[in-house]
Structure 1
């Protein structure tokens, strides 16, 4: 097995293995250490003959390593944990959350942790994202994310925060960070921090967990909205990459390649949200994507109206930037550029990239080239960078 193959196994299985071991051990820190040890063992032992079920192998190996460690401990707590591992590993789960990873997400979103610590820790443990990837999602320095993750683990240990299933009345209070985590996991899959454009393993896992959450909380419209959003965005994935691996933007995509089954399901979920008449950010984003996937072309006037509603609920620079794209389609690039020039999003490559596109449309190639250069310097994904370089090369400067 090559290093690339093992990296793919790590990406696909790390979160599941940590979640399972946390349930078995009842100790998040020990679970993560055991899984990391198991992967280190895999590097030395798999060679050219990997197991048929790598995830199960990692869980079993990690469990045995944890037992060995606990046997070396002489404390009463260690002996109790060893007994649980040996005799209760196969007990059926109880409580409203029966998915290990979903349970771990809710656990990491304990109200004793700060919002940033909640989501950063969950992205690390569930999605197996590295610190640079999480920092990109939050548009903050890597050192900040690293510190928050370390502090969150320490808080869980020192405060004795239990790994347990929240009771039904507690679930709504944990919902906001859980939705944020699933959204960020999906986004990392849809446009990866580095390497190829997409990581389908993350996108599919986020959708699977969103489905599980929707079954758990069917009366929460924002849960339904998030699932609809993920499905409608995922439906366009087959058309996002051209024959040579190049990025294809929404307005240039071949709509015949879109997944009509996912689109139909997403539209039905959006209609369900509309009937409830309790709009929220994820529902509005889902509605925007429903417009994009309805008919042969996008109704940009309707998209702009929805972005106006979204900005009222969520007046962030990123929402304003996305809204500016709709403004350009409805009212022209000059008005959109005036909006973009007022935004402050340091280190976010899509801001100068959007500005470069607007300047190109306004026939200001020198300024557009400078904006493209800034976007190219900030872009970390190879496919996105190649797309920006191509657009930059087309300018007649």
Structure 2
């Protein structure tokens, strides 16, 4: 297999996986079968493309191949004749549409799959992981690392959830308005979790940039379906504010640059303007929620581009509001960091000390913030110990190098 063919297959898989799964599963009502059919299609591509060349519309080729695999699988299972006919007609229509001259577009039904994954019949603890894998094609081991569980445990939960979708006949639809609020929270959280994986994984730049773009696309698609939902606006605003700083998060040499040291000239002004416009529009509905609050926090940081300084007191107020609505570990650690800048390092450390020790043992941001505040407070021996822990818990080479430099500064201060 040539390297070009391998890269082409990998690119199509990454860019079209969720879209293809959603299209197939929405018609077959069987997520595991759709995944198996697409996996076989990808394997076929790696066998066939080196001989015949990469097709002009590789995603169309994969959909047709997956459709055939799905039908073959259906013939080997005991299914109702009318269900098989429905699958056949829907996918025959898809094949015809895909093969029309010049047409490489098929319906993107990932939002339907997102809402299927948050159905009340499915254990809420697996909603986000299920959406990350089925809609965006993220591997179980990556999801397991993000949720701090074993790959085996998360794989078993995902398999059970997918079987539940099939056996319970869960519909692939955006639910009616009365059922939206509870389901919407899970969808918003899953989209943001996908963006978070991209944000944390900048060392694998191309793949993670693609994931970030997919998450933002899903945010836009959700807002197009729910144009009057302020939290959907807040989520999109939040992601755009973060994405606007992508080019400033690494130096020309690839070194990590913390937010307050970033060159604001490298921030995307157009993206920031769109994010702030969304936030203002969301505010008009007078239903302030956690995603709007997080977007407002990022907007305060973005204002440094114009003012030249960061309003730490405003950030303190916003984090206090966020913790009332959503008291997550990440929010509590971030609030301590902000208080350490707005008030004193000692006060920030007091906030960190209030967090349950069992929750922070393997939480890298806690140790990085603790090390930073200890250094500001002048306790360099303790700061050095915290930096060592933070370095050991970081998956990013760039972040580890940055923290190692801070560790060396603390050690020099001790010896000097």
TM-score by length of 1: 0.91
Residue 81 of structure 1 and its aligned partner are, at CA, apart by 4.8
Residue 241 of structure 1 and its aligned partner are, at CA, apart by 1.2
Give me the whole-angstrom Cα distance separating, in 2, the residues matched to 1:141 and 1:375: 21
User: Does residue 26 of the first structure (1) align with residue 29 of the second (2)?
Assistant: yes
Match of 2:58 among 45, 54, 64: 54
**Which residue pairs with 1:301 in the alignment?**
313
Give me the whole-angstrom Cα distance separating, in 1, the residues matched to 2:135 and 2:91: 25
**Which residue pairs with 1:371 in the alignment?**
386
Match of 1:262 among 264, 268, 271: 271
Where do 1:27-106 residues align within 5 Å?
Answer: 27-47=30-50, 49-73=53-77, 75-77=79-81, 79-89=84-94, 99-106=108-115
- For these two proteins, the number of residue pairs brought into alignment is 392
Residue 4 of structure 1 and its aligned partner are, at CA, apart by 5.6
Residue 173 of structure 1 and its aligned partner are, at CA, apart by 3.5
Match of 2:342 among 305, 330, 348: 330
Structure 1 residues 198, 191: closer, same or farther in 2, change over 3 A?
A: farther
Structure 1 residues 194, 39: closer, same or farther in 2, change over 3 A?
A: farther
Unaligned runs of 5+ in 1: 93-97
Structure 1 residues 61, 186: closer, same or farther in 2, change over 3 A?
A: same
Structure 1 residues 391, 81: closer, same or farther in 2, change over 3 A?
A: farther
User: Does residue 273 of the first structure (1) align with residue 282 of the second (2)?
Assistant: yes
Compare the two structures and name the one with the higher helix fraction. 2
Whether the 8 Å CA contact 1:273–1:283 is kept in 2: the answer is yes
Structure 1 range deviating more: 324-333 or 132-141 = 132-141
Deviation string 1:236-262 (CA, Å, 9 cap, x unpaired) is 111111101111110111101111111
Structure 1 range deviating more: 135-144 or 177-186 = 135-144
User: Does residue 110 of the first structure (1) align with residue 119 of the second (2)?
Assistant: yes
**Which residue pairs with 1:14 in the alignment?**
17
Aligned residue for 1:212, secondary structure, equals helix
Aligned residue for 1:246, secondary structure, equals coil
Whether the 8 Å CA contact 1:191–1:198 is kept in 2: the answer is no
Whether the 8 Å CA contact 1:136–1:193 is kept in 2: the answer is no
Structure 1 residues 332, 143: closer, same or farther in 2, change over 3 A?
A: farther
User: Does residue 155 of the first structure (1) align with residue 164 of the second (2)?
Assistant: yes
Residue 138 of structure 1 and its aligned partner are, at CA, apart by 2.9
Aligned residue for 1:46, secondary structure, equals helix
Residue 139 of structure 1 and its aligned partner are, at CA, apart by 3.7
Aligned residue for 2:94, secondary structure, equals coil
Aligned residue for 1:375, secondary structure, equals helix
**Which residue pairs with 1:319 in the alignment?**
331
Structure 1 residues 367, 132: closer, same or farther in 2, change over 3 A?
A: farther
Give me the whole-angstrom Cα distance separating, in 2, the residues matched to 1:100 and 1:356: 45
Whether the 8 Å CA contact 2:391–2:404 is kept in 1: the answer is yes
User: Does residue 214 of the first structure (1) align with residue 219 of the second (2)?
Assistant: no
Whether the 8 Å CA contact 1:106–1:166 is kept in 2: the answer is yes
Whether the 8 Å CA contact 1:196–1:383 is kept in 2: the answer is no
Match of 2:188 among 179, 182, 186: 179
Give me the whole-angstrom Cα distance separating, in 2, the residues matched to 1:257 and 1:219: 32
Q: CA RMSD in A?
A: 2.5
Residue 150 of structure 1 and its aligned partner are, at CA, apart by 1.9
Give me the whole-angstrom Cα distance separating, in 2, the residues matched to 1:390 and 1:81: 62
Structure 1 range deviating more: 268-277 or 136-145 = 136-145
Whether the 8 Å CA contact 1:120–1:148 is kept in 2: the answer is no
Residue 366 of structure 1 and its aligned partner are, at CA, apart by 2.2
Whether the 8 Å CA contact 1:17–1:59 is kept in 2: the answer is yes
Unaligned runs of 5+ in 2: 98-106
Structure 1 range deviating more: 292-301 or 341-350 = 341-350
Structure 1 range deviating more: 355-364 or 307-316 = 355-364
Structure 1 range deviating more: 381-390 or 355-364 = 381-390
Give me the whole-angstrom Cα distance separating, in 2, the residues matched to 1:75 and 1:114: 26
Residue 57 of structure 1 and its aligned partner are, at CA, apart by 2.5
Deviation string 1:190-225 (CA, Å, 9 cap, x unpaired) is 112974597111111111111111111122111111
